[in-house]
Structure 1
Amino acid sequence: MNEQRMHPYITIIIGVIAVSMSAIFVKLAAADSGITAFYRMFFSVVIMTPIFLWKYINEVKKLTKRDWSFSIIAGIFLAFHFILWFESLKYTSVASSTVLVTLQPLFAFAGTYFFFKEKLSIKTILSAMLAITGSIVISWGDFQVNEEALYGDMLALIACALVTAYLLFGQDVRRRLSLVTYTYVVYLVSTIVLLIYVLGMSESFGPYSLQTWCWFVLLAIVPNLLGHTMFNYSIKFVSTNAISMAILFEPVGAAILAYFIFMEYLTFTQVIGAVVVLIGIALFIIDEKKFIRFFFRK
């Protein structure tokens, strides 16, 4: 099915802006990591359900065993990505956590090479290595701050690996399913997994303040339904590699918001590391020439 109505790189840009607000909403919500992740996915499913039942439910019958398997696996990876990332924000800064959790090319390049046989140029590999070096600089600075910050960095890196796996499985399934059906199934699976996790950890479902409930809903609407859904749309038309590199812009927006909202000042190593990461992204974009082809195509 051909559903391309927006250029995938426009949707990626929208997605990056939307997910940049995720860490801010998480820190503002006064709740445990698991329960914050659960309500983020739960409200997303609630909002999507009327649209799914009205127009897309019949497509579920077309799902193959492979589609079901990959969608379920993607949902599980997404659930634990949120748990670990949200937990990392308790120990390290918004800037460090978002830089490390979006360091997906390290895992995406390996995944697309082994599973989709995508060829990687020398310049692409070098740009990824440069971005990785920037993340190491950030982590080293946090190590000098305290062990808690380093622990938060490690959680963010694991969360990064999980979200990359989620995108890789989605890259396969989205070639056959519509955006709404795939997203709904994955979000529903993720919600169920998070419910089981929250019950197992005995985390409280409430009561919470009105402000916290607002942050839960905003997490569902902005970074999830607008952000991640835009990535799920784009994954049908572009490689996981392109999305993973673009998401590395997220820490810039998150760090700016964190400065004004939480007064989180950037350390020297965070600034140097972030600059190195952005240079790596720039080299990747220049190598791929995708933005040039978009703006100057006939």
Structure 2
Amino acid sequence: MKKNAPIPTAIPLIIGIIAVSFSSIFVKWSSAPASIQGMYRLLITALLMLPFIRPHLAELKSLTRKKILMLFASGFFLALHFLLWMGSLKLTTVSSSTIILALEPVFIVIGAFFIYKERTSRVAMAGMGVAIIGAVLIGWGDIGVSRANLIGDLLSVFGTLAVSVHMLIGQKVVQQVSSYVYSFTVFLSATAVFAVYNAVCGISFTAYPGKDWAMFALLAVVPTVFGHLLFNWLLQYVSATTISMSILGEPVGSSLLAFILLGEQMTWFQIVGGMLAIFGLIVFLNADRFKWKPKGKQAAEPLKSA
């Protein structure tokens, strides 16, 4: 049973949705390479978490080699996600990239089926199919815009696959370590992966104007602390399905912000494809509510949330 939240859960949920919607805007506003943005975003977030690490030091010291390897693997795929997704924003529009990114739950279910043998309902599968058709329409529309837009869409797809692997690994690891230790070590691992990548590629660690450093800090504080970490905190009080629904708010919020702040326009393919993707995700995330139950058992067996 979930605990009672100290404040109405709608308040932090709305704050979180608005916060993550700014992520793509900050990426667009920075001229730094995606690998540098991702590295400093995660490094600054880990540094902000550092003052609160003392109660978790004993757990950190007791981590086994297997757990450390799992945490590093999760961090590796988180770094790969940021590298590909942030890179996609350099080539395609905010709306296309974030709508494709919102397909994360679909990829997770597919991965969970093959890795953990988890099954899903026919209604969820139907919603998944509609969402994928919507994403294909977005990519199809970008073919006529430019080759760069299409490559950006593909990078977003691969970035979504990477974050899905990160989540699937995390699904197992968080059962063995606290969420704070998980987040802190994964962020540090991803930062290390980025540092090695940047060093090997000869990318400068410091040659960036003040505006870029401001964007690095904003990426850490706004979408990461007030977005993803806030959602992790909310899991104590609301279901995972409720948190997952926030994924639908990001492409809508990001697209509106991109229109207002960046002057980006949406094509009809993006609008229709985006609407299909979001509708499919709504059906997918609420599939359990559509399950048929015999009349005699309806009162005794309440619907379960995913």
Q: Same fold (TM over 0.5)?
A: yes
Q: How does 1:207-218 map to 2 (within 5 A)?
A: 207-218=207-218
Question: Which residue pairs with 2:49 in the alignment?
Answer: 48
Aligned AA for 1:95?
Answer: S
Correspondence for 2:19: 18
State the partner residue of 1:27: 28
- Number of residue pairs the alignment of both structures matches: 291
2:37 aligns with 36
Residues 242 and 118 of structure 1: CA distance in aligned 2, closer, same or farther (over 3 Å): farther
Tell me the residue number matched to 1:141. 141
> What's the offset of the Cα at 1:288?
2.9
**CA-CA distance at 1:6 after TM superposition:** 4.7
Letter in 2 for 1:34: S
Q: 1:233 deviation in Å?
A: 4.9
Q: 1:12 to 1:120 in 2, by over 3 A?
A: farther
Change in Cα spacing, 1:238 to 1:78, as seen in structure 2 (3 Å) is farther
TM-score (norm 1): 0.87
Q: Which amino acid aligns with 1:96?
A: S
1:134-176 per-position Cα deviation (integer Å, ceiling 9, x unaligned):
1111000001111111011111100000001111111111122
Contact persistence 2:103–2:281 (CA under 8 A): no
Contact conserved, 1:171 with 1:235, CA < 8 A, in 2?
no
Q: Distance in 2 between matches of 1:125 and 1:27?
A: 34
For 1:27 and 1:140, locate their aligned partners in 2 and report how far apart those are by CA, in whole Å: 23
Which runs of no fewer than 5 residues in structure 1 stay unpaired? 291-296
> Could you tell me which residue of structure 2 aligns to residue 259 of structure 1?
259
Per-residue deviation at 1:263? 0.3
CA distance in 2, matches of 1:124, 1:171: 20
In 1, Cα distance between the equivalents of 2:215 and 2:114? Answer: 39
CA shift for structure 1 position 273: 0.7
- The DSSP-based 3-state class of the residue aligned with 1:47 is helix
Asked whether 1:205 is paired with 2:205, we answer yes
| 1:200-258 per-position Cα deviation (integer Å, ceiling 9, x unaligned) | 11112224332221111010112122322245456799998876564243111110000
Q: Do the aligned partners of 2:2 and 2:238 also contact (CA within 8 Å) in 1?
A: no
Structure 1 letter corresponding to 2:147: E
CA distance in 2, matches of 1:79, 1:249: 23
Post-superposition offset of 1:44: 0.9
CA distance in 1, matches of 2:232, 2:116: 17
Higher-Rg member (1/2): 2
**Cα gap change, 1:101/1:65 in structure 2, threshold over 3 Å: closer, same or farther?**
same
**Structure 2 length-normalised TM:** 0.85
For the Cα contact (< 8 Å) 2:245–2:282, is it kept in 1? no
Q: Return closer, same or farther for 1:263/1:4 CA change in 2, 3 Å cut-off.
A: same
Counterpart amino acid of 2:148?
E
SS of residue in 2 equivalent to 1:196: helix
Give the root-mean-square deviation of aligned CA atoms: 3.0
1:84–1:5 CA distance, 2 compared to 1 (3 A): farther
C-alpha displacement of 1:12? 6.3
Cα deviation for residue 3 of structure 1 reads 9.6
Q: 1:199 to 1:236 in 2, by over 3 A?
A: farther
Where structure 2 has 5 or more consecutive residues not aligned to the other structure, the ranges are 291-304
Query: Within 2, Cα distance between the matches of 1:168 and 1:287?
Result: 20
After the TM superposition, which of the residue ranges 200-209 and 210-219 deviates more from structure 2? 200-209
Q: Which residue of 2 aligns with 1:80?
A: 80
Report if the CA contact (8 A) 1:105-1:128 is conserved.
Answer: no
State the secondary structure of the residue aligned to 1:204.
Answer: coil
Kept after mapping to 1: 8 A contact 2:41/2:220: yes
